[in-house]
């Protein structure tokens, strides 16, 4: 029953009717162990290992990043993040199959690594839009657009791409520009209810389509807030692959958002879905 459901979800992605929403736990599927953080907790620990922060905040990435930004300057924070994510992981075969689908209009990637972006670099008609921090902005800018070769472009160009990679929290590639500190999120969350930070093209491509969450957890409020706003005004019948026990907040989030859960190992689910792409 579960395998049949996963196969159907893969077929829906291939046909362009369901959008994959990828999270950091996909890094766990690398053939060799990835040195990159695969959760907000592990990112907080990696950051505090580079820049000393008070012990009481070391397990909270948003507070850790804010402390570094406030006490050591934003450039110090960006350099540390660049060090942590210096080597983009090789794309999984799953990334490559997703980015090769001409019928798939959009992929949402909710982590900072550059694997999905790297997977589309040799493919025409594709590109990325990423959320950006306003810490170093001189104009009112919520997002930046990049061609697969890393050249910056604009929303008008992006509207013509067959497939859009949306990185709502920013990315370490092609340059470090990440939403990560409390201050970054205060600005975005103040506007996200009215959808201002979400690109118009993303809003268009989600219309009438449902989402499949892979490699995501929803333990943190920010993760839940972003997911809720990104799937707003989309289709129905969302699904999340999450193995094991849920927190109370996760269970409530899935219930309120109408997201069905499949409790199987991520690797097994991805293998079945990938086989149908």
pLDDT digits (tens, 9 = 90+) for 92-128: 999 999 999 999 999 999 999 999 999 999 999 999 9
Distance of alpha carbon 66 from alpha carbon 50, whole angstroms: 14
Q: Would you report the helix, strand and coil content of the chain in percent, each value rounded to 5?
A: 45, 15, 40
Q: Choose the final residue of a domain: 28, 59, 84.
A: 84
The neighbour count for residue 102, using CB atoms within 10 Å, is 12
Distance of alpha carbon 27 from alpha carbon 201, whole angstroms: 27
Q: How confident is the model at residue 137 (pLDDT cuts 50, 70, 90)?
A: low
Q: Based on the domain organization, do 164 and 223 belong to the same domain?
A: yes
Q: Based on the domain organization, do 264 and 130 belong to the same domain?
A: yes
Q: Based on the domain organization, do 6 and 65 belong to the same domain?
A: no
Q: Based on the domain organization, do 79 and 120 belong to the same domain?
A: no
Residue 69's H or E segment, with its range, is helix 61-72
Q: Based on the domain organization, do 25 and 46 belong to the same domain?
A: no
Q: Based on the domain organization, do 66 and 182 belong to the same domain?
A: no
Please give the residue range of the domain that contains residue 243: 2-36+85-275
Q: Based on the domain organization, do 73 and 90 belong to the same domain?
A: no
Q: If you average pLDDT over residues 10-21, what whole number do you get?
A: 98
Q: How confident is the model at residue 87 (pLDDT cuts 50, 70, 90)?
A: confident
Q: Based on the domain organization, do 32 and 117 belong to the same domain?
A: yes
* Bridge partners (DSSP) listed for residue 128: 146, 165
Q: Based on the domain organization, do 193 and 66 belong to the same domain?
A: no
Q: Based on the domain organization, do 112 and 150 belong to the same domain?
A: yes
Report how many domains make up the chain: 2
Percent of the chain past pLDDT 70, that is, above it, reads 98
Q: What is the pLDDT of residue 139?
A: 59
Please say if the pLDDT value at position 188 is more than 60: yes
Q: What is the pLDDT of residue 140?
A: 63
Q: Based on the domain organization, do 144 and 160 belong to the same domain?
A: yes
Q: Based on the domain organization, do 101 and 125 belong to the same domain?
A: yes
Q: Choose the final residue of a domain: 84, 113, 140.
A: 84
Please say if the pLDDT value at position 34 is more than 90: no
Q: Choose the final residue of a domain: 60, 84, 108.
A: 84
The neighbour count for residue 173, using CB atoms within 10 Å, is 20
Q: If you average pLDDT over residues 153-179, what whole number do you get?
A: 95
Please say if the pLDDT value at position 173 is more than 60: yes
Q: Check: CB of residue 269 under 8 Å from CB of residue 8.
A: no
Please say if the pLDDT value at position 138 is more than 60: no
Q: Which two tokens stand for residue 153?
A: 């472009």
Q: How many CA atoms lie within 13 A of 210 on its CB side?
A: 17
We report the CATH number of the domain holding residue 31 as 3.40.50.1220
For residue 101, give the nearest of 82, 113, 83, 116 by alpha carbon: 116
């Amino acid at each position: 029953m579960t395998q049949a459901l996963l196969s159907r979800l893969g077929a829906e992605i291939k046909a362009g009717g369901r959008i994959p929403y990828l999270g950091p736990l996909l890094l766990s599927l690398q053939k060799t162990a990835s040195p990159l953080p695969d959760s907000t907790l592990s990112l907080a620990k990696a950051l505090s290992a580079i820049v000393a922060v008070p012990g009481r905040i070391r397990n909270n990435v948003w507070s850790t990043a804010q402390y570094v930004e406030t006490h050591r300057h934003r450039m110090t924070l960006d350099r540390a993040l660049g060090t942590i994510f210096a080597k983009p992981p090789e794309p999984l075969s799953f990334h490559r199959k997703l980015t090769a689908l001409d019928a798939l209009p959009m992929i949402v990637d909710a982590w900072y690594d550059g694997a999905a972006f790297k997977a589309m670099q040799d493919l025409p008609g594709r590109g990325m839009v990423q959320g950006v921090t306003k810490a170093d902005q001189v104009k009112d800018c919520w997002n930046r657009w990049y061609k697969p070769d890393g050249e910056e472009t604009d929303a008008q160009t992006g509207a013509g791409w067959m497939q859009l990679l949306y990185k709502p929290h920013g990315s370490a590639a092609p340059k470090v520009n990440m939403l990560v500190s409390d201050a970054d999120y205060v600005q975005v969350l103040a506007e996200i209810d009215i959808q201002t930070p979400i690109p118009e093209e993303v809003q268009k491509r989600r219309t009438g389509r449902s989402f499949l969450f892979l490699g995501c957890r929803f333990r943190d409020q920010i993760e839940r807030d972003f997911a809720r706003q990104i799937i707003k005004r989309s289709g129905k019948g969302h699904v999340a692959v999450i193995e094991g026990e849920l927190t109370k907040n996760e269970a409530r989030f899935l219930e309120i958002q109408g997201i069905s859960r499949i409790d199987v190992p991520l690797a097994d689910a991805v293998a079945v879905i990938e086989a149908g792409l």
